[in-house]
Amino acid sequence: DAGVIQSPRHEVTEMGQEVTLRCKPISGHNSLFWYRQTMMRGLELLIYFNNNVPIDDSGMPEDRFSAKMPNASFSTLKIQPSEPRDSAVYFCASSLWGDTYEQYFGPGTRLTVT
């Protein structure tokens, strides 16, 4: 079975540009999570969806960040405009709601904003 798929794996962009990160969860999973990993703050949950509906977006740092899940097999995390402090590894994870709660992580997207 294919795991969680993220694209791109690496993204380098200039400050002020729009960045879109993409995620395809494991087929059949109904919960999807976006995390950010930095040296300073570690692993932080940004937002998670259940059945395509955002449940908790309290970790989204500011209005420059937005996330969507238009269907069960696709989600995006958008940063507009990007800033150097957004440089981090962004992980997407998926799981079954109501199961043993194991989250399966994608390989991550390393974002560098110059």
Partner 1 sequence: AQTVTQSQPEMSVQEAETVTLSCTYDTSESNYYLFWYKQPPSRQMILVIRQEAYKQQNATENRFSVNFQKAAKSFSLKISDSQLGDTAMYFCAHRGEYGNKLVFGAGTILRVKS
The β-bridge partners of 28 are: none
State which residue, 1 or 102, has the beta carbon closest to partner 1: 102
d(CA 13, CA 56): 28
Query: What backbone phi and psi angles, to 5 degrees, belong to 86?
Result: -85, -5
Q: Is the peptide bond before 8 cis (omega within 30 degrees of 0)?
A: yes
State which residue, 13 or 50, has the beta carbon closest to partner 1: 50
Site pattern 48..87 for partner 1 (x: CB under 8 A): x-x----xx-------------------------------
Site pattern 19..38 for partner 1 (x: CB under 8 A): ------------x-x-----
